[in-house]
Amino acid sequence: MKRVAITGLGAVTPLGNDVKTFWSHLKNGDNGINRIKAFDPSRLSSQIAGEIKDFTPSLKIDAKLARRLDPFAAYALYAAIEAIEDSGLNFSSMKKEEIGVIVGSGMGGIQTWEREHIKFLEKGPMRVSPFLIPMMIPNIAAGIISIQYGLMGPNFATVSACASSAHAIGEALRHIRYGDAKVVITGGAEAAITEYAMGGFCVEKALSTRNDNPQKASRPFDRDRDGFVIGEGAGILVLEDMDFALSRGAKIYAELAGYGLSGDGYHITAPQPDGQGAVISMRKAINNAGLTINDIDYINAHGTSTKLNDAMETQAIKSLFKDRAYKIPVSSTKSMTGHLLGAAAAIETIATALSIHESTIHPTRNYENPDEGLDLDYVPQHYREQNINAAISNSLGFGGHNVTIALKKFKG
């Protein structure tokens, strides 16, 4: 199989609007969760979120274009521009059909949908924006990135709730391996911190209600966890055929090596209690990467801070890795960013690639009180310096969608 290199990274996150800032805060255990400022959240049971701060799209995006994009698409394009700049790619020397874009989103332009639906109810259907549809559809993030650069390779969106960007990254890997593209810009974007969307999660009782202490609210694997915290943003990676990347002397963060996916076939929101779906996706990704369970040095967990997910994921890791499970560091990016839904896997894959590249494992923030049966090495509170030759990142979505991405240290 063709090998695939990660050569560019871009991010818009609750911890910063570029990769350097995001990684510095993540490594140091800083927290991006606060009381919601985008609207008055007082009617909600959960009033906290990982919001994007000080985002100025005009720094990278034409101001007129930015006004015609839902925030999720603006985040995606902004992060893509950073990732492409970081990669050092010169598209003018390539055939545009050799460059693809695959970007996932779970909710798409829900901010636009909510705003225009209110307008529809108050003023009628002929008063909604002519940009309603192109601003709302989840595939517009992939579309707008390709339009920005005139790219004509494989171009589509993946929509699988919290696994959306993991599917995007995995499918990008496959398209390079199949020879459909030399380069794929991939990842995910989400901007679902709206009163309407938050209300849906609140009545489902999925969110933390620790409103008096937002920075302690997301506490994956901790005994006192009471639900996840919504976040927003985008993560974009540039993937390249390894031979092509080497031929142009590209900087390589890590090798994207494996992709595993499965379904639970169990419940619309609850994970399968024994975690067999997650076991299957982890095993498939490891096998697809040409690795064994003994090769895995780190796991970036889905780690949502919900009672059911954290118990299930811990059980799945134990089921697959047996006694070795206790020797593998496991940490949750969501403890500091909140849960970016369809963009979560993208920023977590970026974090995993940087962990490999810099031999540093970021901590799980707020892991303070061990829970019965949740007894793995969750890297509590402080980052750890450790060589990582291979790692996996898990993403598990409503509907029973399980995806695992496997990465290796680049060794030439």
Catalytic residues: 162, 302, 339
Residue 28 CB neighbour total at 10 angstroms: 13
In single-letter form, the type of residue at position 6 comes to I
Token representation of residue 214: 């937002």
Place of tokens 């996996």: 392
How far apart CA 331 and CA 379 sit, in angstroms, is 6
Joined tokens for residue 354: 């940087």
Q: Which two tokens stand for residue 373?
A: 């049966």
